[in-house]
Structure 1
Amino acid sequence: MTKSDMTAQEWKEKGNEEFNKNNWSEALNCYTNALKLVKEDNAEKAIYYKNRAAAYLKLLDYEKVIKDCDNALEICSNDPKALFRRCLALEASERFEEAYRDARNIILSDPNNKSIQPIAARLHEIVQERHKEMSRISAKVSQMLDLAFDINMDREKRETAMNNLLVLARERAGAEEIFKQKGVSKITKFVKVEKNEEIICNTIRIIGELCKNNISRTESVIRDIGVPWFLEMINSKLAERVNASQYCLQIILNTYSGMDNKPDSKPDKTLCETYKKEIDTILSCLLYSITNRTISGLARDAIIELIMRNIHYTALDWAERLVELRGLQKLMEVASEMEEYKYESSMDITSSTRTITSVCLARIYENMYYDAAKERFRNAIDEFIKDKLLTPDIESKVRIVVAITTLLLGPLDVGNAIVAKEGILEMILVMAGTDDLLQQKVACECIVAVASKKDKATAIINQGVNILKKLYQSKDDSIRVRALVGLCKLGSSGGTDATIRPFADGATKKLAEACRRFLINPKKEKDMRKWAIEGLSYLTFDAEVKEKLIEDQQAIQAMIELAKTGDQSVLYGVVTTLVNLCNAYDKQEIIPEMIELAKFAKQHIPEEHELDDVEFVNKRLCVLTKAGVTSALVSLAKTDSHNSRELIARVFNAICSQQEVRGIIVQQGAVKALLPLALDGTTKGKKQASQALARLGITINPEVAFPGQRMMEVVRPFINLLNQECSALENFESLMALCNLAGINDSVRKRILEEGGFHKIEAYMYGDHDMLIRAATQVMNNLIMCEQTIQYYEQENDRIKYLVILCEDEDQDTSIAAAGALAMLTSVSKKACEKIFDSKNWLESLRFLLANPNCDVQHRGVVIVLNMIRSTKDVAAKLIETDIMEILMALSKNDMVENKQIRELASTALDAAAEWNLIKKNVDENESTESTSNIEHVD
């Protein structure tokens, strides 16, 4: 009978068989198939739900247990089994009052049920204690509200009270009590007259905690105080308050959409549909605020970041909706603003505003998934440019060029398409050639941005290089530095190819020296140093420039200090320079046959400079790390630009390749920055960050490298490296790091299994790469300390058979790991002891282990045999029939065996066989004899 012919009842019976074999996942699939075949609600369907709930319970998926039990109880109310399973799942989810309710219902319907009585007693005690705690919390909340909102109270006491309220708001009971005591209305009324910014920040945070994961409270908050209150709170020049308000708004969006702040979080479609109106209202308010002339630059940045985080298809998918609401035109208005150019209707912006805007525009364009959407995006941009060109004054031209520059830093293709339009590039070059400083400045910036593509760089070399040289002679430093960067960018158009030099020999070194002077001069404004580092980001493609820069401690320190400010406008320059210094860019694989073919075809062959050899690169990596580059990367990693995050991850991974500096990297906070980089961003960026974390986890004790909760959080990045798209080195380093993690405690081991680690790790044990087989077996050896892993080996499969084979592996470390795994398995599982006989070569493997010259291998072999003899009489009898007893006898008596423990274990194994009455002890010598006449066989 094929699976498609099976009835629901047959699927249920098959599920029961798998369940009794401890094959929970297979049982789950069978019950699911049974449910698919039943359309109407009936008693049988309720059974399928109950059974599937039992499988989910074994797999620790408590939410699904509760859901399936709910469905079963809708059909058959007060069903004891459904109530019992739901009770266990609710208790595990810390929903104690609901669990106690189910326990009481079971006792009411079945007073003699002994299984539920101890659970009910335990839950009764917990519920009583929680009730007392609630009474204490209620009094505490009341006291703190009175203290916090008493204007006459001492400032320090009020701040302490507000901090205590925030702590209470983070607990479910505390949040409910604050809400019950009308804390929201008190907070919002009070904020209007409060002048203490620390207290205001905490009030905003409290509102956020009250809204977190609670729809009813969120609806009440929005109804009572409205979105404008949050926009009023975010409008501040204090970063702490702006961040608190931004976080609070994101929490509200998350609650409406079912997301959280984790990088891999996805919205709940049903929730999004239910609260579409509320979510759209928030988007509209945010969009309106982007061009609000009365808000602070920090607030504007935070609002744009909020929009950016929610436009991706895995979030709220706002991209197309934003275009419909003319959001692109508003963003382009911001993109055309200049910090240093103020006029009557100008907006307040920060040094990071245009960078954040360019990233936001890029993210929107990335989410235009089909041609028609992309066309609407381009049309909106064209419309903005045309509107500005209709006004022929200088201000409009300046704003157009600034907006184009911002576009070129974001959706490059759209920016290049604008530049390619008739007259635009000519207008930029004409502005660069005027005597007006403002026009020169913005034109220079645009030329630098335009030269990103080689064909555009060639056009500018032909048309504008003389203009740039002329501007470099300007008396105004801000013009000179921009012209310098333009020349640097054009001079680096050959990339890492040492044979291509657009300018005369020595020109790049002179340009680098000029950039250095701007960079290290403390008298220069930060804006000029920012441009200097951008110039170096292009020049450091040249290996000679890299070597000269790395030896210049003053310049390196100036660059790192600039990066530590966290200013997003310096991001590209610093990170690109670091990527070049570390040689952390993608390198094209050079195949000798292709080189010969290229020579024959007289094609150009790129050449790498001798100063980019491994020893020079490694030296640069160590110098940068010791200079404090990690702190700089941590500051810059807060960006939302996926491309920049990838570059940062590349630098992190490069410096983590040097074992001697990994301790410094951890000390300077790399792990906290690497975790989000490993979970969110480009595919390459995530791989680079994950590998960097793995390298730290290999060398440094995981408890030191990943303290507290981070030890759980790094599991997923390591598991993500276990796929065929990653290199063997990435696979190996991930397995090594997982091995160290799995040796820490059972919670970590369970997390590895929850993330699907078991099957991925096991796959490498069956591979053909010796190092990967060894590493995977070592991880499995540590994972076997977890009960759930043992269940995988007890199921109907050949896993133990393969471990027996691996015990004889030529690689000694693989043999030790496999034997160690078997030793632990056989110590706790009688079934595992029996399954060893499934292997045809079980006897040869045991002989190999017992007679091995390596005492570690031999020790594990004796433990396995001892465990087998102790397990059951049948297993012991099967061993006695072989020459294993003779080997044990020899080991127990042989003084040549250096390890005393091995001799003692061998003797203990013989005693264990005697206890089964399978062998008799020699009366004279009080030791086991080895002749078959002394063995008693049992029927």
Structure 2
Amino acid sequence: MTKTTNLTAQEWKEKGNVEFNKGNWSEALSCYTSALKLANEDNSDKAIYYKNRAATYLKQEEYNKAIEDCDKALKICPNDPKALFRKCQALEALERYEEAYRDARYIISADPGNKAIQPIAARLHEIVQERYRQNSRVSAKVAQMMDIAFEIKGDNEKRETAMNNLLVLARERAGAEIMFNDGIVSKITKILKLEKNEDIITIGVRIIAELCQNNIDRTENIIRQIGIPWCLELFNSKLVERVNATQYCLQTILNTYSGMTNKPDSKPNKDLCDKYNKEIDTILSCLLYSVTNRTISGLARDAIIELIMRNIHYTALNWAERLVELHGLQRLMEVASELEEYKYESSMEITSSTRTVTSVCLARIYENMYYDAAKEKFRNAIDEYIKDKLLTPDIESKVRVVVAITTLLLGPLDVGNAIIAKEGILEMILVMAGADDVLQQKVACECIVAAASKKDKATTIINQGVNILKKLYQSKDDSIRVRALVGLCKLGSSGGTDATIRPFAEGATKKLAEACRRFLINPKKQKDMRKWAVEGLSYLTFDAEVKEKLIADVQAVQAMIELAKTGDQSVVYGVVTTLVNLCNAYDKQELIPEMIELAKFAKHHIPEEHELDDIDFVNKRLIALAKAGVTYALVALSKTESQNSKELIARVFNAICSQQDARGIVVQQGGAKALLPLALDGTDKGKKQASQALARLGITINPEVAFPGQRIMEVVRPFINLLNPECSALENFESLMALCNLANVNDSVRKRILKEGGFQKIEAYMYEDHEMLQRASTQVINNLMMCEDTVKYYEQENDRVKYLVILCENEDLDTSMAAAGALAMLTSVSIKSCIKIFDTKDWLESLRYLLANPNSDLQHRGIVIVLNMMKSTKEVATRVIDTDIMEILMALTKSDTVQNKKIKQLAAEALEAAAKWELIRKSENEGESQRESQNTNNLENLE
């Protein structure tokens, strides 16, 4: 049983106060919370616990929680000045100035003699007055712009400019409030019924989205005014900009109800989700029912499926099981069974990306079925759909079933394989492949290719499929030939990167690659053909000889990049897998020598890497791809919703960024912007790869150039995520190097690093028994020391100063320089830290080491530390002067060997500081400084 088990509420509070005064906010918070759990009655003591916890929340910048605790304290003790004061501070930090000013005035009326609040009230009064003046200006601007924008017969260009101005104003608090109160929503809905200018429609939708952003009251009011059907109607367009704007608007509404943001790592607020469950469910249900709407455009369908996909996962709104309940799988399977080129009476309009988007959505739903009964429901719903379709044995039903199965095999593969294993399904596909009808051949061939993904799970289809694929490859129809070619490529790649396994005859792989190339570079071939050709190469490029031949083929590489730049979701897998293979960016199995010997003894097969996959060849391929503009392709493809594809894209990016010469190209072509969301959302490996790629950019290129604007703040988290024991030493090191550069930019960036919990993670590597990690982390701390918040960490009760003093004597010169630099900055602003230097047993040895060091830069840092100590307090100066440091300082002022004049000057300043404290005096006879004994009581240091 621990000593703290039986503490009273009052004792927990006292313990919390001790931790608070030490600056240990988490421990203080825990203590005050424990006190509150024991305090049953609403009395003045309980109000104190709330106020103290609010003070801790203020220190942690948890301002909303601080306000909640102050409100609870005020409920017990109305008009309590301390609770009002802390609430006022929190409101000001949240920029809720009017409310903060109101509370400041309450304090003045309750406690007129309170001097602490008077300057704050004066400052808030100024801010509130300025905001009032600004609101008046904004109000006039809004009125002017609305008059121009909503004049339907006015000049189109002027109206468009006015709408754009309103959009900018809507992003500001004052502008949004004024517009909303002036009835802009009803004006937009009315005008959009008559509007012919699509740009104005798009801007109008974006304005509504901005008004809904993070404001539930406005959002509820807007939804009542416009209704969900209005939003769904707006979707129905063939214009990308309008569809994107509508998608963004609905996502913003969902975010406001759920507390999420558009940032990749955003999580919903459970309390908000519970409160607005009905509203969220209504929006998602309406979207789900629209998926199979026969009158909407293919673009709108894709956008609706993407919206569903973004919100169903357990990391978002966790709506997948509800979707299954509402027969949503059957609706998605209807879409999955559509063919762009095959039209019938009730067909839906789809795009080349629709089936890919649907397959990813189905995979995301299945991923969310995280217990067996839910998985069973998912499989049963799919089975039901297949059975219903096959009840009418016409050709259309068979074609659509096979297309739907192919889509499943691109998404939840296990479910697709289970369907194919059912009696009669495989036979049906093989019969269709052998039919004379081109459409049947095409869909059956695609299904055979998709089913061959897992060799062990699809042996039958592979055994029976080879002969059919060879026969189909003789077809006169190119669309059949290219699909059969991909099937053969897939089977030919079953050995992976193992150079000893070749399922086809020698040279067959190169012939297949040449066939794929011909389809890829032929400008007369449709995009669909080129897409299949790249997919074929994605399997063949496991072969190192094919990689080398392809990278040398400028025309083929360019054709592949141009195809990728279209952003078509159906080309993502083929292009990215080919690039991963070219870059050797896949996971490689580590071959341990002892295990190889054991395998030889047991006569097991040992994989062998081809000589053309040596690092020199790989590096040349990486540079060639960078120069060919692969970054443009990766940026276009990174918009995919597939987590696996995102990981592959991150792998290629990271491989390219491993080449220092390619990093500038990546930044110029928009790679850094695309990498940021990849580093925050996706598979663990994908996030790690993208974070490392960003770190590599941050090492070589000025962070302000690589990550302009707000992006420089957003890259902090990915870098800190790499400071993890599960990451490799190289990943840790590159992250620290990038953070070192970031910490050198400005104080806002330094504060962001600390806010993201970076200090403790960076500091941990200073204790590592790894020279480069220790050096890099000390260099980051050196740069962070320019921030006053870092200084506070060193002023708390801990051994941080002590360890810096020890590191000053490190054998590695760079580590020693960084530690001494950090200590020099720290002692220049913190008297506490000057005193804490004496906590180190060997403090004197460290100072001697620095002052007598042959490296003038290190010596300079040492003399600055000593000067800061001499200036800090009389007690500190006395302890320094009582050693041989004074003799060293005197020697430095007179030495002829010291070339750096600054060192001599600083040494003289240190002696002058000692003279000011009257610790030394000049001897008239000897011309030397002499010590004087003084009583050194400094009342100012007592608390």
Q: TM-score, normalised by structure 2?
A: 0.98
| Structure 1 segment 675-754 matched on structure 2, within 5 A | 675-754=676-755
The question of 1:296 aligning with 2:297 is answered yes
Match of 1:918 in 2: 919
What one-letter code is carried by the residue in structure 2 that aligns with 1:727?
S
| Structure 1 segment 304-703 matched on structure 2, within 5 A | 304-456=305-457, 458-703=459-704
What one-letter code is carried by the residue in structure 2 that aligns with 1:636?
L
The question of 1:130 aligning with 2:134 is answered no
1:458 Cα deviation from its structure 2 partner: 4.3
Contact residue 301 and residue 352 of structure 1 kept, 8 A: yes
The 1-side partners of 2:607 and 2:935 are apart by 78
Contact residue 877 and residue 937 of structure 1 kept, 8 A: no
Match of 1:792 in 2: 793
- Deviation digits for residues 366-407 of structure 1 (CA, Å, limit 9, x no counterpart): 000100000100111111111111111111111111111100
SS in 1 for 2:12: helix
Match of 2:769 in 1: 768
- CA spacing shift, 1:922–1:593, aligned 2, 3 Å: same
Match of 1:21 in 2: 22
1:349 Cα deviation from its structure 2 partner: 0.1
The 1-side partners of 2:927 and 2:389 are apart by 105
The 2-side partners of 1:936 and 1:103 are apart by 48
The 1-side partners of 2:440 and 2:45 are apart by 79
Match of 2:158 in 1: 157
The 2-side partners of 1:33 and 1:739 are apart by 39
The 2-side partners of 1:14 and 1:278 are apart by 45
Contact residue 892 and residue 906 of structure 1 kept, 8 A: yes
The 1-side partners of 2:53 and 2:288 are apart by 47
| Structure 1 segment 858-937 matched on structure 2, within 5 A | 858-923=859-924, 927-929=928-930
The 2-side partners of 1:27 and 1:205 are apart by 45
What one-letter code is carried by the residue in structure 2 that aligns with 1:707?
P
What one-letter code is carried by the residue in structure 2 that aligns with 1:763?
A
The 1-side partners of 2:724 and 2:661 are apart by 28
1:269 Cα deviation from its structure 2 partner: 1.7
What one-letter code is carried by the residue in structure 2 that aligns with 1:178?
M
1:60 Cα deviation from its structure 2 partner: 2.6
SS in 1 for 2:194: coil
The 2-side partners of 1:779 and 1:428 are apart by 61
The 2-side partners of 1:789 and 1:29 are apart by 23
SS in 2 for 1:920: strand
SS in 2 for 1:192: helix
Match of 1:171 in 2: 172
- Deviation digits for residues 790-839 of structure 1 (CA, Å, limit 9, x no counterpart): 11111111111111111111111111111111111111111111111111
Contact residue 168 and residue 174 of structure 1 kept, 8 A: yes
- Deviation digits for residues 208-262 of structure 1 (CA, Å, limit 9, x no counterpart): 1111111111111211221000000011000000000000001111111111111
1:937 Cα deviation from its structure 2 partner: 6.6
The 1-side partners of 2:800 and 2:172 are apart by 45
Structure 1 unmatched ranges of 5 or more: none
Match of 1:101 in 2: 102
- Deviation digits for residues 627-647 of structure 1 (CA, Å, limit 9, x no counterpart): 100011001000110000000
SS in 1 for 2:312: coil
The 1-side partners of 2:150 and 2:936 are apart by 84
What one-letter code is carried by the residue in structure 1 that aligns with 2:390?
L
- Deviation digits for residues 583-611 of structure 1 (CA, Å, limit 9, x no counterpart): 00000110011111111111111000000
Match of 2:219 in 1: 218
SS in 1 for 2:809: coil
SS in 2 for 1:310: helix
SS in 2 for 1:522: coil
1:880 Cα deviation from its structure 2 partner: 1.4
1:925 Cα deviation from its structure 2 partner: 7.0
- Deviation digits for residues 501-552 of structure 1 (CA, Å, limit 9, x no counterpart): 1110100000000100110111110000000000000000000000000000
Contact residue 358 and residue 410 of structure 1 kept, 8 A: yes
Contact residue 702 and residue 741 of structure 1 kept, 8 A: yes
Match of 1:244 in 2: 245
Match of 2:805 in 1: 804
1:561 Cα deviation from its structure 2 partner: 0.6
The 2-side partners of 1:900 and 1:64 are apart by 54
1:187 Cα deviation from its structure 2 partner: 1.1
Larger CA deviation: 40-49 vs 609-618: 40-49
Contact residue 716 and residue 753 of structure 2 kept, 8 A: yes
Contact residue 646 and residue 685 of structure 1 kept, 8 A: yes
Match of 2:58 in 1: 57
Structure 2 unmatched ranges of 5 or more: 938-943
- Deviation digits for residues 94-138 of structure 1 (CA, Å, limit 9, x no counterpart): 111101100111111112222111211221122122222222222
What one-letter code is carried by the residue in structure 2 that aligns with 1:10?
E
SS in 1 for 2:466: helix
Match of 1:184 in 2: 185
The 1-side partners of 2:453 and 2:165 are apart by 53
The 2-side partners of 1:59 and 1:383 are apart by 54
1:935 Cα deviation from its structure 2 partner: 6.1
Contact residue 919 and residue 936 of structure 1 kept, 8 A: no
- CA spacing shift, 1:516–1:101, aligned 2, 3 Å: same
The 1-side partners of 2:443 and 2:58 are apart by 64
Match of 1:82 in 2: 83
Match of 1:198 in 2: 199
Match of 2:233 in 1: 232
The 2-side partners of 1:922 and 1:490 are apart by 95
What one-letter code is carried by the residue in structure 2 that aligns with 1:887?
I
- Deviation digits for residues 553-593 of structure 1 (CA, Å, limit 9, x no counterpart): 00111100110110001000000000000000000110011
Contact residue 622 and residue 656 of structure 2 kept, 8 A: yes
Let me know the Cα RMSD of the aligned residues: 1.3
- CA spacing shift, 1:287–1:612, aligned 2, 3 Å: same
Match of 1:818 in 2: 819
The 2-side partners of 1:164 and 1:794 are apart by 49
Larger CA deviation: 331-340 vs 447-456: 447-456
What one-letter code is carried by the residue in structure 2 that aligns with 1:565?
T
- Deviation digits for residues 41-77 of structure 1 (CA, Å, limit 9, x no counterpart): 2111111111122222223322222121111111111
Contact residue 807 and residue 815 of structure 1 kept, 8 A: yes
The 2-side partners of 1:609 and 1:33 are apart by 63
Match of 2:851 in 1: 850
SS in 2 for 1:585: coil
What one-letter code is carried by the residue in structure 2 that aligns with 1:719?
I
Contact residue 846 and residue 861 of structure 1 kept, 8 A: yes
1:32 Cα deviation from its structure 2 partner: 2.0
* Identity, % of aligned positions: 81
Larger CA deviation: 404-413 vs 58-67: 58-67
The 2-side partners of 1:29 and 1:888 are apart by 49
The 1-side partners of 2:275 and 2:15 are apart by 39
The 2-side partners of 1:22 and 1:252 are apart by 40
The 2-side partners of 1:88 and 1:935 are apart by 48
SS in 2 for 1:726: coil
Larger CA deviation: 736-745 vs 52-61: 52-61
The 2-side partners of 1:74 and 1:45 are apart by 11
Q: TM-score, normalised by structure 1?
A: 0.98
The 2-side partners of 1:858 and 1:36 are apart by 55
The 2-side partners of 1:118 and 1:234 are apart by 53
- Deviation digits for residues 730-777 of structure 1 (CA, Å, limit 9, x no counterpart): 011101111111111111111111101111111111121221111111
Match of 2:940 in 1: none
The 2-side partners of 1:631 and 1:291 are apart by 34
What one-letter code is carried by the residue in structure 2 that aligns with 1:700?
I
Match of 2:760 in 1: 759
